[in-house]
């Protein structure tokens, strides 16, 4: 139907050239109209083709997103943790060689570069996924944004783990932050000396701990916060016990004085009133001794448990905190990936 008018009209202008001026004009109009019709048809066909094509293109893009880009994303993520572990092991080995922090960093540079490459690949894979779908508020866009947040969190976590590791590892090393100096042990003859030694070790240690608080890795940050508080408690308890010990020595002196006082009063047959007064003084002294003792016990117990728990605290950074973080990402990210795949499927259903 549509094509009929076109061929029937086209010979018309040619069949009657210059016969009459008026029909010639009309024929011109007819030609224009029919060309317009042809143009409209072509345009519609083009629109239809473009729609079809872009629909096809979109479908292919989604297919690539789902099968290509997402698979690559999962793969690059899988490489991150082994690369991080390789670096941690290499660094630790180098440090134990023994070597200084700088040397150890140099000797583990290969592993560190490999990790950084893995992290870069991971971020690139994420960027590819993001670029594959630009509209943000449809089902796919939301799933992409959710995946991005979790994935980014994971890469940040791993990067922080690697970047701050020398700092973390050096905390309890003598040529590092020297936090091991907190374990004064039998090095001190008196509790005051212990408090002084502890204070000396605590200053550089807490400074390093403060730096670790700036890490990108939450597990390190939380650990640093706890360690900082524990050291502060150690310092405060060391001060209390040192003070108590000094008080105690004072009490011994006062006790001797009191003994002499009683002896002397007995010798000169002092009045009952005087004895009562001495008894009252002794009672006050006793209360002070008891309180001093109670404070000492409390602080000493806390000091000891603080020292005893510290290795566990360090140990748990990897055995518990980082393990828990990674476990969390390990359950979240595969779900996010699956949700994105399903969101793509929703669009691909025919």
Partner 1 sequence: MGEQTLDTAAETGRSKSRRTIIIAAVVAAVVLAGGLGTWFALSRPAGVQRADVVRMDKERAILDNSMNLYDPLFNQFSLRYSSVMTEKAGQQEKDQVLNRDGERLKRETRTNLDRLDRMGSSPAVQEQEIGEAYNRFKEQYSAVIAYNDQLVVNTSNINESIGGPCAPLHSTLNVGAESYSEDYVKGADACLAAIGTAKDGTDAETTELLTAVEGVIRGQRDKQQEVLDAKDDLERLAKRTLAGVAMLDINDALSAAQTKYEGAAKEKYNQLVTNANDSNKALESALKKRTDQFDAAAKDGE
Contacts with partner 1, residue ranges (CB under 8 A): 1-2, 4-5, 8-9, 22-23, 25-26, 30, 33-34, 37, 40-41, 44, 47-48, 51-52, 139, 142-143, 146, 149, 218, 222, 225-226, 229, 291, 294-295, 297-298, 324-325, 327-328, 331-332, 335-336, 338-339, 342-343, 345-346, 349-350
For partner 1, the closer CB: 225 or 261: 225
Q: Can you list the alpha helix ranges (DSSP code H) found in the chain? A: 5-9, 11-15, 21-63, 70-96, 101-107, 109-132, 139-163, 165-170, 191-212, 218-267, 272-316, 323-348
For partner 1, the closer CB: 142 or 270: 142
Minimum CB distance to partner 1, residue 297 (Å)? 7
For partner 1, the closer CB: 115 or 303: 303
Minimum CB distance to partner 1, residue 180 (Å)? 22
Helices 323-348 and 21-63 cross at an angle (nearest 10°) of: 150
Minimum CB distance to partner 1, residue 52 (Å)? 7
DSSP summary character for residue 161: H
Q: Are 234 and 182 in contact (CB under 8 A)?
A: yes
**Residues composing the chain:** 350
Minimum CB distance to partner 1, residue 102 (Å)? 31
For partner 1, the closer CB: 93 or 225: 225
Q: Can you list the alpha helix ranges (DSSP code H) found in 164-271? A: 165-170, 191-212, 218-267
Minimum CB distance to partner 1, residue 155 (Å)? 16
Q: If we measure between CA atoms, which residue out of 208, 197, 213 comes closest to residue 175?
A: 208
For partner 1, the closer CB: 57 or 229: 229
For partner 1, the closer CB: 91 or 329: 329
DSSP of 114-131: HHHHHHHHHHHHHHHHHH
Minimum CB distance to partner 1, residue 330 (Å)? 9
Cα separation, 235 vs 222, whole angstroms: 20
């Amino acid at each position: 139907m549509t094509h009929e008018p076109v061929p029937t009209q086209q010979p018309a202008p040619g069949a009657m050239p210059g016969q009459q001026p008026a029909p010639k004009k009309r024929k011109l109009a007819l030609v224009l109209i029919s060309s317009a019709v042809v143009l409209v048809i072509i345009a519609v066909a083009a629109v239809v083709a473009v729609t079809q094509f872009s629909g096809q293109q979109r479908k292919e893009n989604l297919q690539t997103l789902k099968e290509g880009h997402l698979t690559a994303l999962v793969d690059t993520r899988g490489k991150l943790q082994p690369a991080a572990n390789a670096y941690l092991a290499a660094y630790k080995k180098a440090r134990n060689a023994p070597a200084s922090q700088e040397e150890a960093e140099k000797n583990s540079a290969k592993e560190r570069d490999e990790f950084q490459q893995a992290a870069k690949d991971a971020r690139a894979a994420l960027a590819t996924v993001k670029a594959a779908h630009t509209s943000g508020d449809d089902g796919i866009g939301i799933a992409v944004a959710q995946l991005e947040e979790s994935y980014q969190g994971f890469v940040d976590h791993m990067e922080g783990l690697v970047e701050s590791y020398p700092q973390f590892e050096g905390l309890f090393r003598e040529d590092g932050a020297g936090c091991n100096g907190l374990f004064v042990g039998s090095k001190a003859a008196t509790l005051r000396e212990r408090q002084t030694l502890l204070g000396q070790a605590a200053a550089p240690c807490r400074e390093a701990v403060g730096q670790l608080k700036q890490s990108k890795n939450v597990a390190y940050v939380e650990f640093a916060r706890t360690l900082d508080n524990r050291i502060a408690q150690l310092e405060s308890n060391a001060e209390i016990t040192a003070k108590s010990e000094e008080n105690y020595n004072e009490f011994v002196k006062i006790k001797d004085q009191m003994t002499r006082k009683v002896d002397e009063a007995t010798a000169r047959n002092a009045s009952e009133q005087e004895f009562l007064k001495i008894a009252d003084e002794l009672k006050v002294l006793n209360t002070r001794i008891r309180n001093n003792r109670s404070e000492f016990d409390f602080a000493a117990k806390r000091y000891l448990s603080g020292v005893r728990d510290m290795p566990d605290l360090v140990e748990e950074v990897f055995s518990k905190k980082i393990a828990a973080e990674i476990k969390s990402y390990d359950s979240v990210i595969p779900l996010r990936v699956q949700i994105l795949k399903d969101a793509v499927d929703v669009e691909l259903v025919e």
